[in-house]
Amino acid sequence: MTLSIALRGDTARFPGNTLPALRSASRAGADLVKVDVHLTLDGYPVLADERVVAAPGSPPRPVGELTLAELAATRDDLERRVPTLMEVLAEYGDAPPPLLLDAAAPEAALAADALLRAYGFGDRVLFTGSTEALGALRARSPGARLMLAWDRPGPPPEEATRSLRPEYLGMHYTLLTRELVGEMHRFGYLVTAWTVNDFPEMARVLGMGVDALATERIEDLVSLTRSRERGEHAADPA
C-alpha cells in the first residue's frame, strides 16, 4: 500500500495549512497531511507558511516575530485563519493525528514534539524538516519518527543518515528510478516521492514501488491508489 500525502491539506479547495484544508484532505482519503509548523514569538506552534502578511498593506513578517494574537490579526477570513497545532490535534480526538510535521527550526520541532507528548502521541507522528530540526528530535528520543528530505541524485551518504536514523527518505520524483527505490529499500528505508501533481506521472511513480507519494491534488492521488489496490486502472481525470 502506498500512502497518499496531501501537501498542506486540500489546497485545490482551501488555503494551505488551514483547518478547512486539513478537514477536506481527510474527507478525500489522505493517509497523511504534510503541514508546516513554526513557533510564534510567544512560543505557540502554529501551522503557517514561513512568512505571513502582518496587516493589510504591510510587508510580510516571519511568524517568529509575531505573537499569536498578532498572527490572528493578519487574516480576517476564517478559512485562512492560522491555526495552532493544539487546535489541529483537537480535530483528531484521541487517535494519533495523521500528520507529517515539517519544521525548519529546531525550536519549532521540539515545541511541536513536546505538545504531542503532552497529548500522549510521543514518537507516533512523523516529522520532516531541516537536518538541525531532525537532529534535535533524534537527540530527544531514539524512537522519534523522521523523514529525511534528500535533494540530490542517488541515496544519501552514510554520514547523512547515521545519526538521524530516518524511517523515510523523501526525494523529488524526478530524481527517482525503480532501481534507486529498490536500493533504498535494501538499505532499510521507506521512500517518499514529492511533489507529483500530474495524474500520469502519479501512476508512473507509483509503479516504481514508492511507499508514499505527496501531492497537491489529493483526490486524484487517492482515486489512483484505491483503484490500484482493487487491481483496476484509473482513468485520467483530465
The enclosing domain of 193 has a CATH number of 3.20.20.190
**Confidence class of residue 237 from pLDDT cuts 50, 70 and 90?**
very low
> How confident is the model over 73-102, as a mean pLDDT?
90
Q: To the nearest whole percent, how much of the chain has pLDDT over 90?
A: 80
Per the structure, the count of domains in the chain is: 1
Residues 6+ apart with CB under 8 A from 95: none
Does residue 80 sit within a domain?
no
Does residue 117 sit within a domain?
yes
pLDDT of res. 232: 59
For residue 105, pLDDT over 60 is answered with: yes
Q: Where are the alpha helices (DSSP H) in 82-121?
A: 85-91, 106-118
Average pLDDT, the chain: 93
Does residue 30 sit within a domain?
yes
Does residue 75 sit within a domain?
no
For residue 112, pLDDT over 80 is answered with: yes
Strand residues in 40-161 grouped as ranges (E): 45-47, 51-53, 60-62, 99-103, 126-129, 145-149
Q: Which residue has the cell 506552534?
A: 45
Does residue 206 sit within a domain?
yes
Does residue 168 sit within a domain?
yes
Domain span including residue 206: 3-38+99-229
**Confidence class of residue 238 from pLDDT cuts 50, 70 and 90?**
very low
Does residue 59 sit within a domain?
no
Q: Which residue has the cell 507528548?
A: 117
Residues 6+ apart with CB under 8 A from 91: 19, 22, 23, 97
> How confident is the model over 73-89, as a mean pLDDT?
87
Pick from 51-65, 138-152, 179-193: least confident: 51-65
Does residue 224 sit within a domain?
yes
> How confident is the model over 178-196, as a mean pLDDT?
96
Strand residues in 130-211 grouped as ranges (E): 145-149, 168-172, 190-194
**Confidence class of residue 9 from pLDDT cuts 50, 70 and 90?**
very high
| CA 36/CA 164 separation, integer angstroms | 20
pLDDT of res. 236: 42
Per-residue model confidence as pLDDT tens digits over 31-64: 999 999 999 999 999 999 888 877 777 788 899 9
